[in-house]
Amino acid sequence: MSEMAELILDDAKERMEKAVVHSREEFATIRSGRANPTLVEKMTVEAYGVEMRLVEMASISVPEARQLLITPHDPSNLEAVERAIRTSDLGLSPSNDGRTLRLNFPPLTEERRRELVRIVKKMAEEGRISIRNIRRDARKELESAEKEKQLTSDELVRAEKDLDRITRSSEATVDGALASKEEELLEV
């Protein structure tokens, strides 16, 4: 295969891998009834007059399966962290003991579980669409490289088959992550 085709395929593969990672990160933000630090790590908190991510200003631990313990590095930020959690879409009320915040995760109702599964499926579809858009862009690059005589028609056909293989693999990875998240959500 020509060097041009390899460059295009490598770029597409790298971009698809990023799309898969992004989908997994999106899945991690969905609450499953279990305590998971990724639910709050990216939350922004206003401290020292600037917006900071919670993970930068506090340690987050999981002392029990349904509880998160958040300890700000600077105790003066405790109220700001508590305010950020209360105004977030988590729907949780932290308990404040003066030094730490405890987030207790109640068990999810069946209806809420089904709703979360629908949300995760939508996120997975967005991930697959992103992967297909990357495939479309790469295919356009390959076709223009053939028009500019940088690729032969045989190399184009081979490169398109490789591109389709990479695409199927990336979509299968997103589908696998979706299946495990769905299983986690529906687990009682």
Q: What is the CATH number of the domain that holds 61?
A: 3.30.1360.40
| 115 and 136 co-located in one domain | yes
pLDDT (mean) for 18-47: 83
142 shares a domain with 113 = yes
Q: Residues 48, 77: one domain?
A: yes
Residues 6+ apart with CB under 8 A from 69: 60, 61, 62, 63, 100, 101, 102, 103
At 115-136, the pLDDT tens digits run: 889 989 999 999 999 999 999 9
CATH number of residue 126's parent domain: 1.10.132.20
pLDDT at 1: 67
Mark which of 48, 77, 104 sits at the end of a domain. 104
Q: Which has more confidence, 107 or 129?
A: 129
Digit-coded pLDDT (tens) for 61-99: 888 888 889 899 988 888 888 888 888 777 778 888 888
- The whole-number pLDDT of residue 65 equals 81
Is there a single domain that holds both residue 24 and residue 75?
A: no
In terms of domains, do 114 and 182 share one?
Answer: yes
Domain boundary among 61, 79, 104: 104
- 181 and 133, same structural domain? yes
State the pLDDT at residue 178: 94
Residues 152 and 171 in one domain: yes
pLDDT at residue 39, as a whole number: 78
Q: Are residues 121 and 92 in the same domain?
A: no
pLDDT at position 78: 86
Rounded to an integer, what distance in angstroms lies between the CA atom of residue 105 and that of residue 65?
9
Note the pLDDT tens digit of each residue in 14-25. 999 999 999 998
How many Cβ atoms from other residues are within 10 Å of residue 181's Cβ? 23
Same domain, yes or no: 25 and 113: yes
Is residue 137 over pLDDT 90? Answer: yes
Give the pLDDT band of residue 188 (cuts 50, 70, 90).
Answer: low
CA dist 184 and 108 (Å) reads 12
The pLDDT, as a whole number, for residue 91 is: 73
Give the number of other Cβ atoms within 10 Å of residue 45's Cβ. 21
- Are 144 and 182 within one domain? yes
The answer to whether the pTM exceeds 0.85 is no
108 or 131: which carries more pLDDT confidence? 131
The total number of structural domains that make up the chain:
2
In terms of residue numbers, what domain contains 54?
38-104
